[in-house]
Chain A
């Protein structure tokens, strides 16, 4: 495995290669813009969310984070991939309906500048936080700055990347919903990381790690309830209002086949399954079960993002699979390299 341990330059080269691969596929083979947009919608939330979860724990001194801080923070180079991939979206902006009638807020130059600027700012803030936190320096201000940028960036992901796709459909909660999902996704990633690193951590620290595992289970449980609340808060109001401009997009989604089933599936996987499973104490103490629930949650998040873009943007399934496997492999390599590198220094 040592051959896969890359240094900083190696990681950044790998990021460039990934971008190039995706770029070539996007403009050479696919011709359908949906896969890239969906990949961005999913991975931006996960990547930014992981660092944000560390930032929150840094601010409230959450004890369980001690077990996984290094692993979660090591993912920060992924934040740089987001602006790179977002640049590839530039030639495809015509899939947004407002490009035909640009206005003060929705026009191509401003859309690109504000999103790119925020994504880059999030990367630099995340890098700063990761460096300080891993060096065990006080990271309070860095965490606050990162969180503010994270909230702004995820709100724009919700409002710009997705919501303007179905203009004039509006849900004002969507920004808060997206950044909560980022934290939820990060809790699920922590559950998966526990599966990978439990034995090693247990050998290092002993008993606290089992408590930390239970805490991650509890955290996912809490987030499942919170997610249920935020989803219901939007669903209820749209259902009650029943206004054409608000339910039109949703009717488009649920009136044809894959959308109808998927729209049922994501509330089940993001709320009901984790809620019911994690209610039982033994589940929270078993790392395989926690990781299983975490996998279900991440799958649910992906399905939800798929539902959002399904009625409006055409996409190629194979390309979508390729992008996401590529990014998943990239995340694993980054994780492995950083963790291995730091443990050698230790």
Chain B
């Protein structure tokens, strides 16, 4: 191509991040990959020996696998929030985060999708979950929330993937222009031969708007449906109407925290300080504060209502959560999710990257514990005292949980080196 055209600064800056990986990247990737491989080995061990190697047992039949599923689906949510909802509301700061947040959505959903399969035991029967004509002449039970989950999570995955890909198309063509050889050709094919003609752009513009409009209600409904896995039952602590919005807010809360956890180091390591400004990070911190307030409000309402009514089982459940076997986890959860984020009312802290990074980590600890507390406590103490029992995760469950983080971070590291981490096209537009 013609070499005397000045290359826009944005392109060089963003593409510089895609340079040959250094030692730090390789170490990180190796470590994350190792954790993932370890988890795979543990899963194989579980498949060979049966579900007995996991700690789940009567009466607590849903343990950390389900908690992990809920947690990872939640992490996925902020990606769609930032890319779709903020697009509709024309919030400028989304351009600093949307690409990495969308990638995070895809990876988190991949990880989340594994957990029901791991929990399934006989994973080779997973296709029973889908409605297809079969010799047994049986269909799935559409009245069961677990089937809604299959539909919700797979819809969410496919729509997020299309959204991510559509956002990438012009940028892939830009990468193709900068790369020679087979890599350049590959990126060009992936961009479907994008040439930037007005015909392409005008339909593209509408498509992006429509996808955002479709994804916005989806973001509110997927975690609602996950919450209904619990709430359509009549188990104390689960059967409560606030669950849907409370889970959605919690999902965005944890996802936003994860965005901060990933973007703050990424910005530093890849030298993107002038493209991801502190003002934009402050806006993300405000979303974190807002969702924390919603989660805190839900805690208050949930606990207050347990003692407002005349349901003895509800009262006992919420007493157990705060003062029973898992009370330590409960209080860490309250501190991390509802109390510490209140510090974000201080503007100096909203702009302090180290504080935000640490807070992001703590919020994720808190949100993981929230899933654990919700899933396990209600099963450990339901109606009949003869049916009570405590649960603690086995080493296999803990290993697989840790390995899921390995998969997530490994995928994110690959993303950083293979695709532009910021939307070049939108940065130009800005």
In the bound complex, do residue B241 and residue A229 qualify as a contact, i.e. CB atoms below 8 Å apart?
Answer: no
**Known: A105-B308, A229-B220, A229-B221. Is A172-B240 also a contact (CB below 8 A)?**
yes
Does B408 interact with chain A (Cβ within 8 Å)?
Answer: no
Does B217 interact with chain A (Cβ within 8 Å)?
Answer: yes
The interface bits of chain A over 26-43 (1 if a CB of B lies within 8 angstroms of the residue's CB, else 0) are 000000000000000000
The interface bits of chain A over 187-205 (1 if a CB of B lies within 8 angstroms of the residue's CB, else 0) are 0000000000000000000
Does A345 interact with chain B (Cβ within 8 Å)?
Answer: no
* Complex contacts, A9 vs chain B, CB 8 Å: none
**Known: A151-B297, A229-B244. Is A236-B239 also a contact (CB below 8 A)?**
no
Minimum CB–CB distance for B62 against chain A, Å = 18
In the bound complex, do residue B245 and residue A176 qualify as a contact, i.e. CB atoms below 8 Å apart?
Answer: yes
In the bound complex, do residue B309 and residue A170 qualify as a contact, i.e. CB atoms below 8 Å apart?
Answer: yes
Residue of A nearest to B294 (CB): A176
Does A171 interact with chain B (Cβ within 8 Å)?
Answer: yes
In the bound complex, do residue B241 and residue A233 qualify as a contact, i.e. CB atoms below 8 Å apart?
Answer: yes
* Complex contacts, B309 vs chain A, CB 8 Å: 167-168, 170, 245
Q: How far is the CA of A168 from the CA of B89 in the complex (A)?
A: 40
Stretch at the interface among B107-115, B127-135, B199-207, B227-235: B227-235
Does B311 interact with chain A (Cβ within 8 Å)?
Answer: yes
* Complex contacts, A159 vs chain B, CB 8 Å: 308
Q: How far is the CA of A170 from the CA of B242 in the complex (A)?
A: 11
In the bound complex, do residue B310 and residue A233 qualify as a contact, i.e. CB atoms below 8 Å apart?
Answer: no
In the bound complex, do residue A237 and residue B228 qualify as a contact, i.e. CB atoms below 8 Å apart?
Answer: yes
Does A243 interact with chain B (Cβ within 8 Å)?
Answer: yes
**Known: A105-B308, A233-B224, A237-B228. Is A172-B234 also a contact (CB below 8 A)?**
no
In the bound complex, do residue B308 and residue A170 qualify as a contact, i.e. CB atoms below 8 Å apart?
Answer: yes
Minimum CB–CB distance for A175 against chain B, Å = 6
Interface of B is mostly: helix
Minimum CB–CB distance for A209 against chain B, Å = 18
Instruction: Report the count of interface residues on B (CB-CB < 8 A).
Output: 27
Residue of A nearest to B143 (CB): A240
* Complex contacts, A172 vs chain B, CB 8 Å: 240-242, 301-302, 305
Q: How far is the CA of A173 from the CA of B246 in the complex (A)?
A: 9
Instruction: Pick from A171, A174, A230, A240: contact of B232, CB below 8 A.
Output: A240
* Complex contacts, A229 vs chain B, CB 8 Å: 217, 220-221, 224, 244
Does A116 interact with chain B (Cβ within 8 Å)?
Answer: no
Does A60 interact with chain B (Cβ within 8 Å)?
Answer: yes
Instruction: Pick from B241, B302, B311: contact of A237, CB below 8 A.
Output: B241
The interface bits of chain B over 98-117 (1 if a CB of A lies within 8 angstroms of the residue's CB, else 0) are 00000000000000000000
Minimum CB–CB distance for B52 against chain A, Å = 32
Q: How far is the CA of A233 from the CA of B231 in the complex (A)?
A: 10
Residue of B nearest to A152 (CB): B297
Does A238 interact with chain B (Cβ within 8 Å)?
Answer: yes
* Complex contacts, A148 vs chain B, CB 8 Å: 293
Does A289 interact with chain B (Cβ within 8 Å)?
Answer: no
Residues in A212-246 with C-beta less than 8 Å from chain B: 225-226, 229-230, 233-234, 236-238, 240-241, 243, 245
In the bound complex, do residue A168 and residue B232 qualify as a contact, i.e. CB atoms below 8 Å apart?
Answer: no
* Complex contacts, B311 vs chain A, CB 8 Å: 168, 245
Instruction: Pick from B234, B293, B302, B308: contact of A241, CB below 8 A.
Output: B234
Minimum CB–CB distance for B114 against chain A, Å = 28
Q: How far is the CA of A220 from the CA of B234 in the complex (A)?
A: 34
Q: How far is the CA of A180 from the CA of B231 in the complex (A)?
A: 21
Minimum CB–CB distance for B47 against chain A, Å = 34
**Known: A60-B89, A233-B224, A237-B228. Is A176-B242 also a contact (CB below 8 A)?**
yes
Does A210 interact with chain B (Cβ within 8 Å)?
Answer: no
* Complex contacts, B302 vs chain A, CB 8 Å: 172
A-B contact pairs, 8 of them (CB 8 A): A60-B89, A170-B240, A173-B242, A173-B244, A176-B242, A237-B228, A241-B232, A245-B311
With contacts A172-B301, A172-B305, A174-B241 known, what are 18 further pairs, Cβ within 8 A? A60-B91, A105-B308, A151-B297, A155-B301, A168-B310, A170-B240, A173-B245, A176-B245, A229-B220, A229-B224, A233-B243, A233-B244, A237-B228, A237-B231, A237-B240, A237-B243, A241-B232, A243-B234
